[in-house]
Amino acid sequence: MNVQRVYRFGTDEHGADVTEGSSSMNYILGGKGANLAEMARIGLPVPPGFTITCQTCVEYSGAGNVWPEGVLDEIAAAQADLERRMGKRLGDADDPLLVSVRSGAPFSMPGMMDTVLNLGLNDESVQGLIAQTGNDRFAWDSYRRFIQMFSDVVLGVDADLFENAIASKKVVAGVRSDSDLTAADLRELVEEFKGIFADSVDAEAHPELVVDGAVRFPSDPSLQLRLAIQAVFGSWMNERACLYRKQNGIPDDLGTAVNVQVMVFGNKGDTSATGVAFTRNPADGTHEFYGDFLVNAQGEDVVAGIRNTEPIADLKTKPGLEEAGASLERVFGVLESHYRDMCDIEFTIEQGRLWMLQTRVGKRTATAALKIAIDMESEGLISREEAVRRIDPKQLDQLLHPQFDASAEYDVLARGLNASPGAAVGEVVFSSDDAVARSAEGHKVVLVRWETNPDDLKGMVAAEGILTSHGGKTSHAAVIARGMGTPCVCGVESFRIDAAAKEVRIEGSDVVLHEGDVISIDGATGIVVAGAVPLVTAELTGALETILSWADEIRLDESCGRARHVRVNADNPADAELALEFGAEAIGLCRTEHMFLGERKSIIQSFILSDDVEERERAVQELLRVQTEDFVEMQRTMSGRSMVIRLIDPPLHEFLDDPRELEVEIARREAAGEDVSALRARLARIDVMAESNPMLGLRGVRLSIVFPELPLMQVRAIATAAARLKLEGFDPRPEVMVPLVAITAECVQTREVVERVIAEVAAEHGVALDIPVGTMVELPRACIVADEIARHADFFCFGTNDLTQTAFGFSRDDAESKFIPIYLHKKVLEANPFETIDDAVLELVKMAVDKGRAENPGMHFGVCGEHGGDPASIVKFFNVADVDYVSCSPYRVPVARLAAAQAKLAAK
Ligand code: PEP
Ligand code: MG
C-alpha cells in the first residue's frame, strides 16, 4: 500500500492553493501541520511548505533511526516542488530559498521539541541573501544564527561555546549589545562558529560531515535538511519531551510531524516584527487582543523573554506596522468564527506584510475557559451543550485552588505579571534540581528563576508555585504553569537573582532572600510577599455556577435517557454542608467507622477487648448514645435528601493499640516496677485479634455476623435519630448499607437484624420508618451472584476501591507505592486502576447492574469508590455500566457534576 508521508500546504507559483491536509488530520500532520493546512485552506497568509507525517517519525525511530524506504525520495521531491512553487532554490547563490524545520506533535508540547531556522544558508547563498535584501548585516546575522541553532539542535554542540564567542566579539568590537555588532563582526563570527563546529563534532560518529578528512559545517542544503529533520524526529524522545508527555498523559507512540516551511523574517528592520497572541485573554477570558510582539526580531525571541516585548494592542499604532496590525485583527475574527474557539497564534510581519506561522485552539486557565464558553454561547458561536462539553473537568480543580486570605495582612515585596492563578507558599529554590530534591524531602517550594526553559519542567512539576524575573505572559514559565494549573508570577523585574549564590536582592528594598526562605505568591494578582500568607479556597460563584447549572440541566434531563446523579461521600456535618454548597444531591456513602475515632476509641476498645459481659454492654450503650447524636446532626443537615449509611466496615484491629508500641510500654512500666498484668492481658487479646491479611479478614459484613451487637447498636442509632427528627418535623431519609458482602446469606441474615431493629424503634417512637437496606458490592463474587443478592437489597453501591483490590489481587494499601509505578513505567498497565476504573473491573460492575436490574427493577445503583470522582471513570460508569449516581468527596462534586453531564452528552 502506498502511504502518503509528505503533504503540501500553501500556494503554487501562480498563487493557487495546493494544500493537501486539513485540521482534521491532527494525528497524521501533528497539530501545527494540520492547522497550517487549515489556515492555508481558508485563505489566510501562510508561508508555503510541506509536512512529513507523525507516522514517518514513529517508523524512523522504531527502526533505530533508519529512514523507511522511499521517504528520502519523497522529501527530495517535496523540496523540489517547493523550490518550483517559490521560484527559488535552497542554497542558491543569487536568490536563495530559506526554510524553517519545526516539530509538531498531535498534542501541543510547547517548547519541548526542536526547531531549526534559516536552513539553506551557506557561503554562497548568504551572498544571494545580501543581494536580495541589500542588507549584509541581516544576512550574516541570519547565517550565524543558523550555524548556532543547527549545531546545538542537530549535533548537540555546547551552546555556551557560541555565546562565549559572541561575548568576546562584543568586547573586541567595544559594543554592549548583540545588535551593535556590524556585518563584518558577524561575518567573522560565522567563521569562528564554523571552527567551533568543526572542533566539537566527532568525525567518526558523523562521517557524512567529513570533507577532505575533517569535519566541516554542511554546506549542502539537502544534507542540512535531512539532518535537521532527523534531529526533530529524535527530539520526540528527548528527556524533557518524555517527561512532558508523562505529565500530560500523551501517549509515547504518536510521534511528531516535521514542518518544512518557507522562512519569513521578522528581523528585517523596523517594519518587521514577530509575535505570539491569543484571540482572547487566556488568563481571564476577556474578549480582547492579548499577546506580545517584538519589532525587528526573529522566532523564539518573544517566548525566550530576552527582550522586553510590547503588548499586541499597540501593534496597530506602530509606524510601518499599522496595516499588518489591522490585518491581524481581521485574522483574529476569521479564526474565531472558523474554529469557534479561542485561538493561539504565532505570526511574523516581514516588511509590513503579515504571515501566519501557527494557530491552534489555545490553552487557557479554568477561569478563562468558563468565561469564554459562556461568552461564546451568548455570542451565538456555540451551543450550551458545546459550552459544557468544552470545560475540562480536571481544570475545575484550579478554581478550587487556594487564594490569599482576604483578611490576611501582609506587605507586598514585589509585583509581577499574574501569569497563572492560585496562590502558593513555599521555600525559595533557585534551580529545578533543588526544587525536586527539597520537595522530595517533604518541603513545599517556590521555584524562582530568571526565566524557565524546557529543562526546568521537573522543577516546575515539583514546585507549589513559580516566579520568574523575566518574560511576559506568553513566556515559557507562564504557558507551562497555566497548563499545569500551578500558580505563577512572571516578569518580577525587581528580583535581582543570583542563582549561583542562591540569593535574590529585591531592588528598592533591603530584603535579600536566600534559599529556604519562605515566600508567598499570588498568580491571580501577580503579588509576591516575604513569609507565609494564610491561604483560603474560593467559593463557587459566577461563571462556574452558570456552567454547572447548565451541566445539571443536561445530566438531570430525563427526556433523553436516565438522569445522572451526583452524591457525596461525607461522614460529618461540615463535609455534608460543604458538599451541598458544591451541589451534591445526597450522601452516597457515610462511613461510620470514623465516628469511632478520637476520644471514642477507648469505648470501642472496651467492647472488643473485654471478656466482661457487663462492660461490653456498657460500651455498646455508650456507643449507641454518641452515634445517635452523630446521626441526628447528619440527618438534620440532610433533611429531605437520601443519606446512605454504611455499617461498620474496617478490620477491628484498626481500632486497637499498635502491639509493638504496647510491648514497649509494658517493658517501660515493668522496668519502673509497675504492675503490668492488665496490659499483658490486653496485649494477648490484641494478638488473638491479629490477622495476616486484615484487608481480607474480619471486616465488613463479617463483623456484623460475628459481633451482632455492633449492627444492632448502629441501626438502633440510625433509626432512633430518624424517629426523633421525624417527630421534630424534619424529613430524614437514611438508608442502611451492608459492606463487603460476598455471600447472599450474609445479606439475608443482616437484613433480618436491621429490619427487626427498625421496626422496634418505629414502635417505640410511634412513627413510621421506611429505611431502605442495600448492599455494597465490592467483591467479585458478589457481582457474579448479584441477581441472588438483588432479591434482598433495595440498592447496590459499588465500592470500586475494594472491587479493584480484589479483582486484581492488588493490596490497595501497598500496590500504589510498591509496584504500580513500575507497571506504569513498563507499560504493563496504562493507568493506575485505583485512580481510573479498569475495563475488566468495570465489566464486573456492569454485570452486577444488569443482573440486579433484571431481578429487581426498582433498585438503584451507585458508585462510591474513589473512581466516583475521576472524570474518565465517571463517563464509563454512566455510559457503560449504566449506574444512577456516582458519589465522591466534597471537593470533587463540581467536577463530577460536569463529568456526569459530559457523559450524558457523549451518550447522545
Ligand atoms: C470502596 O471499597 O470502594 C469503598 C468506598 O469503601 P472503602 O474505601 O471504605 O473500603
Ligand atoms: Mg470498601
Reported as a single tens digit per residue, the pLDDT across 79-105 is 999 999 999 999 999 999 999 999 999
Q: What pairs with residue 283 in β-bridges?
A: none
Are β-strands 512-514 and 503-506 bridged in parallel, bridged antiparallel, or unpaired? Answer: antiparallel
pLDDT of 474 reads 63
Provide the mean pLDDT of the chain. 92
Which position among 470, 476, 653, 867 bears the catalytic label? 476
Reported as a single tens digit per residue, the pLDDT across 283-326 is 889 999 899 899 988 766 665 555 678 899 899 999 999 999 99
864 Cβ closer than 6 Å to some ligand 1 atom: yes
Please name the amino acid found at residue 111. G
From the CA of 593, which ligand is nearest?
Answer: 1
Reported as a single tens digit per residue, the pLDDT across 494-552 is 999 998 899 999 998 889 999 999 999 998 889 999 999 999 775 556 899 999 999 99
The dihedral of CA 436, 437, 438, 443: what is its sign? positive
pLDDT greater than 80 at residue 748: yes
Which position among 54, 57, 488, 864 bears the catalytic label? 864
Reported as a single tens digit per residue, the pLDDT across 393-440 is 877 866 777 888 878 899 999 998 888 878 999 999 999 999 999 999
**Distance (Å) from CA 848 to ligand 2 centroid:** 16
Reported as a single tens digit per residue, the pLDDT across 667-723 is 999 999 999 998 898 899 888 888 888 889 999 999 999 989 989 999 999 999 999
802 Cβ closer than 6 Å to some ligand 1 atom: yes
778 Cβ closer than 6 Å to some ligand 1 atom: yes
865 Cβ closer than 6 Å to some ligand 1 atom: yes
pLDDT bucket at 111, cuts 50 / 70 / 90? confident
pLDDT of 397 reads 65
**Distance between CA atoms of residues 88 and 92, nearest Å:** 7
**Distance (Å) from CA 628 to ligand 2 centroid:** 23
Residue 652 is classified by DSSP as G
**Distance (Å) from CA 694 to ligand 1 centroid:** 14
pLDDT bucket at 890, cuts 50 / 70 / 90? confident
**Distance (Å) from CA 589 to ligand 1 centroid:** 9
- 476 included as an active-site residue: yes
799 Cβ closer than 6 Å to some ligand 1 atom: yes
**Distance (Å) from CA 801 to ligand 1 centroid:** 5
Q: Supply 664's cell numbers.
A: 514497649
pLDDT of 278 reads 95
pLDDT of 23 reads 93
Nearest to 31 by CA among 292, 461, 358: 358
Number of residues written out for the chain? 908
pLDDT greater than 90 at residue 261: yes
Q: Supply 114's cell numbers.
A: 526542536
Looking at the CA of residue 739, tell me the nearest atom of ligand 1.
6
695 Cβ closer than 6 Å to some ligand 1 atom: no
434 Cβ closer than 6 Å to some ligand 1 atom: no
pLDDT bucket at 612, cuts 50 / 70 / 90? confident
pLDDT of 300 reads 64
pLDDT of 802 reads 94
pLDDT bucket at 611, cuts 50 / 70 / 90? confident
Return the residue whose CA atom lies nearest to atom 6 of ligand 1.
799
pLDDT of 820 reads 86
Is the distance from CB of 654 to CB of 648 less than 8 angstroms?
Answer: no
Q: If DSSP states are collapsed to H, E and C, what string results for 633-648? A: HHHHHCCCCEEEEECC
325 Cβ closer than 6 Å to some ligand 1 atom: no
Q: What is the mean pLDDT of residues 145-157?
A: 94
Residue whose CB lies within 8 A of the most ligand 1 atoms, among 778, 837, 873, 889, for a mutation test = 778
**Distance between CA atoms of residues 624 and 716, nearest Å:** 7
96 Cβ closer than 6 Å to some ligand 1 atom: no
pLDDT of 654 reads 74
Looking at the CA of residue 864, tell me the nearest atom of ligand 1.
5
pLDDT of 365 reads 80
**Distance (Å) from CA 662 to ligand 1 centroid:** 29
Determine the 3-state secondary structure of 18 from DSSP: coil
Structural domains present in the chain: 6-262 (3.30.1490.20), 273-361 (3.30.470.20), 400-537 (3.50.30.10), 586-651+698-733+742-767 (3.20.20.60), 657-690 (no CATH), 772-908 (3.20.20.60)
Looking at the CA of residue 798, tell me the nearest atom of ligand 1.
3
